[in-house]
Amino acid sequence: MYPLTGLPAPDALTALRPVVVAKVGNYDNAPPTGLNVADIVFEELINDNVSRFAVVFHSQFPDEAVGPIRSGRLQDVNLLGSLNQPILAWSGGNGTVTRAIDDSDLVNLSPQYCRNSCFRVDFAKVPYNLYYDIEKAYDVGTTMGAGNPNQVQFQFREPGDAVSGDPSSGVKVAMDSYDTEWTWNPDTGLYERSQNGRPHDERNGDLITTDNVVVMAMAYFPGISGSPDAQSVGYGEVWVFSGGTVVHGVWSRADRTEPFTLTADDGTPILLTPGRTFVQLPRDEPGLIEVKPA
């Protein structure tokens, strides 16, 4: 089984191959690529009241190059710790962030070290033109000490088991200046994303979708250079949307090397649908999360 999706893997070796995480910008003028192929997407808040994606590839790699690749933040060190020495495809950062990445167990695959896995494209302007070939990034990163994802990141339903929770058509989540929304499509069995009132498409025109939406309200402390710093070790409220239902509960995490534990209000584990998961990390403030009725 793939530890990030709960889906069957062809063999144990493939199931334990290293993870590649790409830091992808979220801009109207530079649509992202690769999100619909990722096992997990984390959406975190950064400076300038916008969000950024940490796009986690493991069970499959996209055919197209992924980008626009942008800079990292201090919060990435803790957020990605449970992936066990993942390969970080990013554009770099200021001195403090770069030292933190270098001192962590993340494998620094910035342009300084990317070899043939990163390049500039001619269809976008600097700084939105850095892209990575994820399969090549994997090849390079595995020679630099990348580890194996040795922990299941979420708990998943068994095939054929019914979803649990209250019926819901999705959720609206305010990510600072971005008003995001997920809508359940029963025909496709997927959640579809919109942003600021418009369908949120990838660069190739495909609508961004996912099997599960996990919304974890998170404290943000002031960070360096005006960037908020998500406190991903601790606990907080969580809403999990899967199969047209919602379950409310608590997320908890005692250490950065541990996966998030999702517990329903009744004390039972929250089970996700095997497949892709989109994790949003809004501020832990009232009025930012609106559960949509069925």
Residue 225 has pLDDT above 80, yes or no: no
Q: Which residue has the tokens 């690529």?
A: 33
pLDDT 10s digits, 239-281: 999 999 999 999 999 999 999 999 999 999 999 999 999 999 9
For residues 54-60, average pLDDT: 99
pLDDT 10s digits, 102-136: 999 999 999 999 999 999 999 999 999 999 999 99
For residues 60-69, average pLDDT: 98
One-letter amino acid at 124 equals: A
**Model pTM above 0.95:** yes
User: In this predicted structure, what is the pLDDT of residue 282?
Assistant: 99
Residue 28 has pLDDT above 80, yes or no: yes
When the pLDDT of each residue in the chain is averaged and rounded to a whole number, the result is: 97
Encoding tokens for residue 208?
């961004």
User: In this predicted structure, what is the pLDDT of residue 226?
Assistant: 79
Residue 223 has pLDDT above 90, yes or no: no
Can you tell me the distance from the alpha carbon of 65 to that of 52, in angstroms, rounded to the nearest whole number? Answer: 18
For residues 23-35, average pLDDT: 97
**% of the chain residues with pLDDT over 90:** 95
Sketch out the chain's domains with CATH numbers. 12-142 (3.50.90.10), 166-292 (3.50.90.10)
